[in-house]
């Protein structure tokens, strides 16, 4: 089974591309979705987060206070590393399970939607990489708008990742997402056509 890594920078528009792929019948294993599932109420990882970072990270509803945890770890490299060490092994295990299921179903190709593909050395998991990229200005503006962050907060989150330009240099293919959604989709269709083994639409 061919595996294509889909990645980008925070607020680069990767989720839009991932959503298009799902809508058009391509198998997508979404690391972000898995990361949300493993911290749902009742999951062991949620209890470990409360133990390591304090019970104030849990809302009265029993759910994770993502905003509070994000504010903490994106300002403290050590705490972010602690959180990664806690969650990443579980996420990788779940992703492997999903890959095995797809392989058993005879799927010929699948996308792995992994925001931190390069940061975590997971490019070794895939046969090809597709990076969704935007300008630094657009990335900052979109992140501030989407997450209601100050400029300093947004820059801290961007700085926690490998620079987007570096990811572009390492990619097998790049979608320039500075334009319209239609323009980005056209680029994606071009790559899917070029990678003929993915011609499932």
The annotation places the binding site for ATP at: 11-16
Q: Which residues are annotated as a binding site?
A: 11-16
Return the sign of the alpha-carbon dihedral for residues 165, 180, 174, 5: positive
Taking a C-beta distance cutoff of 8 angstroms, is the pair 30, 18 a contact? yes
Q: What is the Cα–Cα distance from 140 to 9, expressed in whole angstroms?
A: 10
Tracing tokens 């926690």 back to the chain, one arrives at 160
Q: What is the Cα–Cα distance from 131 to 68, expressed in whole angstroms?
A: 29
Cα distances (angstroms) measured from residue 138 to each of 6, 135, 150, 158: 20, 5, 15, 12
């Amino acid at each position: 089974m061919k595996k294509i890594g889909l990645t980008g920078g925070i607020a680069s528009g990767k989720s839009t591309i991932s959503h298009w792929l799902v809508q058009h019948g391509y198998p997508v294993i979404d690391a972000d979705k898995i990361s949300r599932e493993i911290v749902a109420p009742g999951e062991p990882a949620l209890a470990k987060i409360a133990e390591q970072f304090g019970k104030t990270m849990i809302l009265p509803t029993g759910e994770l206070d993502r905003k509070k945890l994000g504010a903490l770890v994106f300002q403290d490299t050590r705490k972010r590393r602690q959180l990664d060490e806690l969650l990443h092994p579980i996420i990788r295990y779940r992703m492997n399970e999903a890959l095995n299921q797809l392989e058993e179903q005879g799927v010929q190709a699948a996308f792995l939607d992994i925001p931190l593909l390069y940061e975590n050395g997971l490019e070794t998991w895939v046969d090809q990489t597709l990076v969704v990229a935007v300008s630094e200005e657009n990335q900052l503006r979109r992140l501030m708008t989407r997450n209601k962050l100050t400029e300093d907060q947004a820059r801290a989150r961007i700085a926690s990742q490998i620079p987007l330009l570096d990811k572009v240099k390492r990619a097998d293919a790049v979608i320039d997402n500075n334009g319209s959604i239609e323009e980005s989709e056209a680029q994606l269709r071009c790559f899917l056509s070029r990678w003929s083994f993915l011609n499932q639409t």
